[in-house]
Structure 1
Amino acid sequence: MFVKFEELKSVIKKALLNAGLSEEQAEICSEVHAQSSRDGVESHGLNRVPRFIDYVNKGWVDLNSEMELVNARGFMEHYDGGLGIGIVNAKKASKRAVELAKEHGLGLVTLSNTTHWMRGGTYAWDTVEDGFIGINWTNTESSMPVWGSKKPTIGNNPICIAVPYKDRPFVLDMAISQYSYGKLEVTRLAGKELPYPGGFDKDGNLTSVPGDIEESLRILPIGYWKGSGFAIALDLMASILSKGRTAADMDREGKGSCTGCSQVFIAIDPYVFSTKEETEKIAEGLINQVKNAERIDPNKEITYPGEGVLARRKKALTEGVHVDDSVWEEVKKL
């Protein structure tokens, strides 16, 4: 079914207020959840609200906590998230990175002891819409087997990279698994299979059936062993720079998805060494080559990361935001 964006946001906000969030917290979080569904990332939009409220009820998210500055050195700052609301913490951290970049040309903020930020692309879009290159990532509890193993031992550690380009920025938002567990859930709820194999079933066979991957917990890393190595690198950098938890630490504590995680937010001024016109000309050369590449399917346009989001956003604001019927009814009752 499809609902208007404002109605979606209103229903989510009501559920969050009922869960004990303040007016300001509920406004920020409902906006982000609704925007995620609007942009086609349903798994971290409406669908994630019941789990977030469950974590609040379990005491895994501290509604009274605010992130605090721990240390600062030049363009780098480190904050403790105090197990506060992940969206609120990440919004503040990414904004602070931009402020540092305005002063130094580059801003780097690390955040330890925080909670799930929902859609990581939210903060990359915020940064690029402020005119800066954005890079942000988070570690997670173990959700993917390290290459050559059978059981989850590393996180799928989503990373986002955004680069300004006219009114159509490049925004890459991806997990280090071929598909996130959220994407598996959305595909399963829709009664569909994945377009490409996304993991192994319990018998060790590659499969496109999302439920079989969810059962085995053997999600496939991007690039096979390369993605596995990249996931480890992202975890090490996030946890070391923030003096925070690794996947191994979160596994031992066992408090669900991303509770106590470590995050990094980087903002870079793209015009430090060149003008806006020069940077756009540089980007245009590559983007034109990408857009004009010979198509496998003549009827299917080639797009770069970010274009699809803008198209889905435009469509959702005129035709309504797609929501899963059962999830919609569940959230309305919260």
Structure 2
Amino acid sequence: HTYPPRRQRQMWLRDRTREPGVIEKNRRILPMGYWKGSGLSIVLDMIATLLSDGASVAEVTQDNSDEYGVSQIFIAIEVDRLIDGPTRDAKLQRIMDFITTAERADENVAVRLPGHEFTRLLEENRRNGITVDDSVWAKIQSL
């Protein structure tokens, strides 16, 4: 679906600010949605388009209804040639600890890192099923 879960939408509406000083003062980590996520998406589209000489999101959306010739780039970095394993692990752990212990918008909702709890969530979803927004489920059933 094209919008975040109701609880997340309510949290973003309640906590949204247009004052950078507020964010700088409380130093909270905010989700990568809305303006931050869309800004990153635009920059990545520009980079991929230029490096691959492929179609940008604009071109695909406006010209290519079949979505062919899209821009794709793959960057492979052998991190172990740049930094030793123990230092890498310590730096990554510090980042993960910083993120997972950050102030939460909702104390009942844990901060999750991408892929961090994949195995547990997979088993939980297999056991209990996957929660789907009622309007999304109705749309799926109508197809």
**Distance in 2 between residues matched to 1:290 and 1:313, nearest whole Å:** 22
Secondary structure of the structure 1 residue equivalent to 2:89? helix
Secondary structure of the structure 2 residue equivalent to 1:285? helix
Alignment CA distance shift 1:269-1:318 (3 Å): farther
Alignment CA distance shift 1:308-1:327 (3 Å): farther
Choose from 290, 300, 305 the match for 2:114: 305
**Distance in 2 between residues matched to 1:250 and 1:284, nearest whole Å:** 39
Choose from 264, 269, 284 the match for 2:93: 284
Q: CA RMSD in A?
A: 3.6
**Distance in 2 between residues matched to 1:296 and 1:253, nearest whole Å:** 41
Task: Report matched runs for 1:109-258 at 5 Å.
Answer: 182-184=1-3, 192=6, 194-195=9-10, 196-197=12-13, 221-223=34-36, 227-228=38-39, 230-255=40-65, 258=67
Q: CA deviation at 1:255?
A: 0.7
Choose from 267, 272, 275 the match for 2:81: 272
1:291 alignment partner AA: T
Aligned equivalent of 2:140? 327
Alignment CA distance shift 1:305-1:263 (3 Å): same
Q: CA deviation at 1:247?
A: 3.3
Alignment CA distance shift 1:319-1:241 (3 Å): same
2:112 alignment partner AA: T
**Distance in 2 between residues matched to 1:232 and 1:264, nearest whole Å:** 15
Q: Deviations over 1:89-140 (max 9, x none)?
A: xxxxxxxxxxxxxxxxxxxxxxxxxxxxxxxxxxxxxxxxxxxxxxxxxxxx
Task: Report matched runs for 1:26-37 at 5 Å.
Answer: none
Q: Deviations over 1:194-236 (max 9, x none)?
A: 3335xxxxxxxxxxxxxxxxxxxxxx9524xx944x4443222
Any gaps of 5 or more consecutive residues in structure 1?
A: 1-181, 198-219
Q: Deviations over 1:235-263 (max 9, x none)?
A: 2221221121123433442516x444211
Considering fraction of residues, name the structure with more helix. Answer: 2
Equivalent residues, number: 118
Task: Report matched runs for 1:31-50 at 5 Å.
Answer: none
Q: Deviations over 1:288-329 (max 9, x none)?
A: 233333555444433333336554323112223456365268
2:111 alignment partner AA: I
Any gaps of 5 or more consecutive residues in structure 2?
A: 14-32
Q: Deviations over 1:7-66 (max 9, x none)?
A: xxxxxxxxxxxxxxxxxxxxxxxxxxxxxxxxxxxxxxxxxxxxxxxxxxxxxxxxxxxx
Residue 261 (1) aligns with residue 80 (2): no
**Distance in 2 between residues matched to 1:321 and 1:221, nearest whole Å:** 24
2:116 alignment partner AA: E
Alignment CA distance shift 1:294-1:245 (3 Å): closer
